Amino acid sequence: MKNEIYKYGKIEYYDTLPSTNAFLKSRAKDEKESLVVVASSQTKGHGRFDRKFYSPANTGIYMSILLKPKTIGFDATRITSAAAVAVAQTIETLSDKTAQIKWVNDVLIDSKKVCGILTEGSINPKNGTLEYAVLGIGINLFMPENGFESEIQNIAGYIFEEYDPSLKEKFIKEVLKNFFKYYNNNTEILNEYRKRSAVIGKDILVLKHNGTKFAKALLIDDNFRLKVKYPDNTEEFLNSGEISIKI
């Protein structure tokens, strides 16, 4: 394990971990805000709804950041959204690609997912605020040696064509710089988020636990909810918690 001090705290680099989110959650109560854990690979990387997040060695970034938000309203959705913008901006700075954000937690290049974000929090039962949050970010920097697994072959993408291991630390630092810009100053995330939306104006499928519905995605509101219109002209504001969408 290698340690490094960065502007906001400490980064710990590990070889392989089951899941950087699970590892950091187990330490969350005893550690200071902004501790970052990075693993070269994960054996049990997971995403929303406990879906597997493919985390092979060398070609991706698997990192988690410990947060203890003091700003009221800086909830899991806002953290996820700030991270999506931070990753998209990093892609635009370090590559010649254009990044889009698929509500609420995926970053896409040419409609392929290159990054997934999972914020897991612990709510204080006394006042309903976030006790801590673990922000997990998984990024496919390069094409994995043996390609992507068959289930995700058609939907997964990567950022850089040429393998260059030195890009990894550069990318991590740039994501942290961009993320903390939003996290510490609560500056405008929404515009940056909306202007990269891969969803607004599109026909989508809304996947809920009780079924699937066609809809038109209309807008993202000030609380990062997605407003949709169904074929019967009824409208709904979707919260990210229990819903995913397909474009």
Q: What is the CA radius of gyration of the chain?
A: 17
Does position 62 bind ligand BTN by CB under 6 A? yes
**181-216 residues labelled b (16+ CB within 10 A) or e (exposed):** bbbeeeeebeebbeebbbbbeeebebeeeeeeeebe
Does position 136 bind ligand BTN by CB under 6 A? yes
Q: Strand pairing partners for 117?
A: 137
Q: How far, in Å, CA of 1 to CA of 191, rounded?
A: 38
Least gap, CB of 235 to ligand BTN (angstroms): 26
Does position 119 bind ligand BTN by CB under 6 A? no
Least gap, CB of 116 to ligand BTN (angstroms): 2
The one among 56, 116, 121, 157 contacting ligand BTN by CB under 6 A:
116
Does position 103 bind ligand BTN by CB under 6 A? no
> Looking at residue 174, what DSSP letter applies?
H
The one among 12, 21, 133, 224 contacting ligand BTN by CB under 6 A:
21
Does position 20 bind ligand BTN by CB under 6 A? yes
The contact set with ligand BTN (CB under 6 A) reads 19-21, 42, 45-48, 51, 53, 62-64, 105, 116-118, 136-138
